[in-house]
Structure 1
Amino acid sequence: MISLAKTDAEKDALRKLLGYIANRTLTGTQAWTCFSSPKPEHLFNKKKLSLTFTKDEIDAFKSIKKKCVGKLELKHSRACAYCRRAVGRYGFGWHIEHVYPKASFPAQTFSLGNLTIGCVDCNLWKAARVDKWTLAQGIRIIEPIADGFRYGDHLNLVHLATEDICFVKYNPTSNPGTETYEKLQFADIERSTIIDSVNGELAALHRRMNDILADAQGDDSKTELVALLGKLKSSIYRLG
């Protein structure tokens, strides 16, 4: 990501966070919080740590993040790297996704080559069911940043839409594809797509929940809310 920092102020601000990671003042997750949600002071109560940032540093973080978002949108055609659903203004809410989780691989927190696009659903379930075990087990789901990666080598996606109904089906064709389908709950995506296309009220509720998830993910104070909404969405579409 340092390649996106064009001014001395941007480079110095990013190097400050990299230094905090290197000397273990901050974890990768904490450093990313400082970057993605910049403010004059960040308090990390478990470490009894208070870090301050100048206005120039805050502006630098915002500038770099904006450039990072634009680069990822262009590279990945505004689609989630895992489920391939459209994201952004005319699609689902999304987050910058660390393929190798920043909690276990802090040195890759600001590596542009480790970043991709993840919709709120895939981001939620990857954090809950994949990231915690990646350090010990490696990446068992698809690895969209790998050299020569082709989505079709792991998952075949069928997307059909008419005026009355929308249908999505994923067919895993490899072990990583199967792991992705199961751990990121693609069966729920298939169900929700059909149900939303024929039930406008439920579709509106789904969009509202996604908006809340998009705002809440990454905020440590809202971890329980994110988990609750994820379970609620899953329950709604399994009952539907």
Structure 2
Amino acid sequence: MRFRHRDEIWRDFPDLVPGVLYTEAITPTADVAAAVARHTATALDRLARTGESAMPEIQAWRRAFAAQGVKPTQYRCASESLLRRLRREGTLPALHPLVDLCNAVSVAYAIPVAVIDLDRVAGDLEVGYASGAETYETFGGTVEQPDPREVVFVDGEGFAHARRWTNRQSGRSAIGPSTTRALIVAEALHGTAADDVPKLLDTLAGALRAAWATDPAPAILTAAHPGFDTAA
């Protein structure tokens, strides 16, 4: 499978720094509690000093959403939504070890992190503007069609695996008990993203090695080198 951002995304968002990581041998029984607690504590410490809306990582995504015609206080990037929940409740829900780990790292860095079950993706996966003909499945099982020009993750059969870019993933490719292969995508637009995204990937790669004894393959994408190929 090949993952890439289309040229139109690089043209309209030249500050984008995407990091991707492919991992195998995922099981639902790994113990990530210590790592989740550590990264959650980092996020809580930062939240005690500043609200999520004031963080440069979140402000950059708010500007990007506004540029797409999406109201940023109605549809928030995933890391902002998680930080808001963490601030209100003091913890994040336990869903699956891989999701829990990625959510904890996401709030620690205030950067959206998507986690996609690759066995639920048809063909290649691209980030680009929707035509309006794509099919999106919610976590509740209902079907929606993205708005034309909305940024989506779309596969070779027209299934949208995320709506409004970093706002909401699809239930179709959500991580579950049967997941063994996953693509992790972290995307940032703020001023220090070129330093922060590689650090985030290194953090996740180390945690994956510790929890699943897997050897994840990370990469930073650029407009000159926009594609990432997973192992066969």
Q: Shorter-normalised TM-score: what interval?
A: under 0.3
Higher RCO (CA 8 Å, separation ≥ 6 residues)? 2
Point out the structure with max Rg over C-alpha: 1
TM-score (norm 1): 0.25
Structure having the larger proportion of residues in strand: 2
Task: Report the TM-score when normalising by structure 2.
Answer: 0.26
Q: Which has the higher helix share?
A: 1
